[in-house]
């Protein structure tokens, strides 16, 4: 075993408790304080390396939605007495500023720091996270107005974004290539929306994405997930592999199995084994990009694939794989030691090169969604 991999075993027994404390004591206060623009409203997109908000950066709607999810989830877990209020404050800003501000339906892609339209595209990936935010907020109070927003968003996507070839367009205006990534997050959001509403129509929508996964996204021969496609779902060669997405689908398939009873164990095991082909030998971390033959195309390593690897092993624990608990804790220790050891309490490093040097100077808000989700899952399953 490589030195970096043997090292992570130390501290694994109580890593979940440490990460839970970190989220409660440092992450939530940082991102609700410095991470919220008290003057103009909205969550900031990133912090500088010293922890100060970059208030001049555009506000991506995807980030607004992810932060709403984080604070709603923290409230649901009992981790934040202010989480509900912060989530609803964020949702109020999102609906007021990003929903149809130019008179056209749907949510814009990004806002200026002042809250005007920066980029008016209707991006499907961003809409997936708006749905996740709405589902998380709805679960707090079962508010009928939020449920109406869920239905309106789904109606917009059905009317404007559906592709005649299955799934959804990249956005408006349409563009190529088509990607699996927006569909993966729509799958996630449909599962969350079903959990929040218990509406069988949303369970069926989740099933549509599972069917798309089996028919078009997943290659049963290579046991790999395609990333880029032509309009008719033909794979674009050469096939690019993002190991983090392989791991992410493991967790999502377990969620689908939970809400439907549909067995997904075989595909989960295949995806996880494929993801592990792309690990860094020194640290045990997932690398960013590979080829279908297992060759590494980019030996950098971002934060989010490590979080998704931990979630994948947690999903396997839920599915009855006893040995997966040890691997899940080891992945969480790697996350803690390599990425969360930032001098700003509640911050993180986003990406390293092969020598371990940090490649991103800022602290991106978008990563909080990954971190918080992994720690809540770990607390529920591993504690």
User: Is residue 27 within 8 Å of residue 372, measured between CB atoms?
Assistant: yes
Residue 58: which pLDDT band, with cuts at 50, 70 and 90?
very high
pLDDT for the residue numbered 322: 79
In percent, the amount of the chain with pLDDT more than 70 equals: 98
d(Cα 312, Cα 324) in Å, to the nearest integer?
Answer: 9
Q: Is 169 helix (H, G, I), strand (E, B) or coil?
A: coil
DSSP per position, 109-167: SEE-TTSSEEE--EEHHHHHHHHHHHHHHHHHH--HHHHHHHHHHHHHHHHHTB-TTSS
d(Cα 94, Cα 239) in Å, to the nearest integer?
Answer: 36
Q: Which residues pair with 352 in a beta bridge?
A: 301, 358
pTM beyond 0.85: the answer is: yes
157-208: pLDDT as tens digits: 999 999 999 999 999 999 999 999 999 999 999 999 999 999 999 999 999 9
197-250: pLDDT as tens digits: 999 999 999 999 999 999 999 999 999 999 999 999 999 999 999 999 999 999
Nearest CA among 275, 271, 297 for reference residue 285 = 275
2-38: pLDDT as tens digits: 434 444 478 999 999 999 999 999 999 999 999 999 9
pLDDT at 308 exceeding the cut of 60? yes
Peptide bond just before 23 cis, omega within 30 deg: no
pLDDT for the residue numbered 4: 42
117-146: pLDDT as tens digits: 999 999 999 999 999 999 999 999 999 999
For residues 64-86, give the mean pLDDT.
98
Nearest CA among 138, 133, 71 for reference residue 98 = 133
For residues 344-369, give the mean pLDDT.
98
For residues 69-96, give the mean pLDDT.
98
Average pLDDT, the chain: 96
pLDDT at 1 exceeding the cut of 60? no
């Amino acid at each position: 075993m490589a030195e970096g991999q043997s090292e992570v075993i130390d501290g694994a027994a109580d890593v979940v408790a440490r990460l839970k404390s970190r989220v409660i004591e440092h992450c939530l206060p940082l991102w609700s304080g410095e991470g919220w623009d008290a003057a103009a409203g909205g969550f900031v997109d990133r912090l500088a390396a010293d922890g100060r908000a970059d208030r001049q950066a555009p506000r991506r709607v995807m980030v607004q939605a992810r932060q709403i999810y984080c604070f709603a989830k923290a409230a649901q877990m009992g981790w934040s007495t202010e989480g509900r209020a912060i989530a609803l404050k964020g949702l109020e800003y999102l609906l007021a500023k990003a929903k149809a501000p130019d008179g056209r339906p749907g949510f814009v892609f990004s806002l200026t720091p002042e809250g005007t339209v920066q980029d008016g595209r209707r991006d499907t990936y961003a809409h997936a996270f708006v749905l996740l935010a709405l589902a998380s907020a709805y679960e707090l109070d079962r508010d009928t107005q939020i449920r109406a927003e869920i239905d309106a968003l789904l109606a917009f996507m059905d009317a404007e974004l559906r592709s005649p070839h299955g799934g959804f367009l990249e956005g408006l205006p349409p563009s190529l290539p088509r990607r699996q990534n927006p569909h993966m997050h729509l799958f996630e959001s449909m599962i969350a929306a079903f959990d929040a509403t218990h509406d069988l129509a949303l369970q069926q929508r989740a099933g549509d994405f599972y069917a798309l996964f089996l028919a078009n996204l997943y290659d049963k021969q290579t046991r790999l997930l395609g990333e880029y496609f032509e309009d008719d779902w033909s794979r674009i060669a050469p096939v690019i592999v993002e190991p983090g997405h392989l791991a992410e689908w493991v967790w999502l398939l377990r969620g689908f199995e939970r809400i439907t009873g549909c067995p997904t164990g075989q595909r989960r095991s295949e995806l996880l084994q494929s993801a592990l082909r792309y690990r860094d030998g020194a640290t045990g971390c997932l690398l960013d990009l590979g080829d279908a033959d297992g060759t590494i195309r980019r030996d950098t390593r971002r934060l989010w694939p490590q979080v998704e690897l931990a979630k994948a092993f947690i999903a396997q624990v839920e599915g009855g794989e006893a040995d997966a608990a040890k691997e899940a804790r080891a992945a969480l220790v790697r996350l803690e030691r390599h990425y969360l050891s930032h001098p700003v309490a509640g911050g993180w490093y986003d990406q390293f090169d092969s020598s371990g040097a940090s490649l991103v100077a800022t602290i991106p808000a978008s990563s909080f969604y990954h971190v918080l989700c992994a720690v809540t899952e770990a607390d529920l399953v591993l504690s």
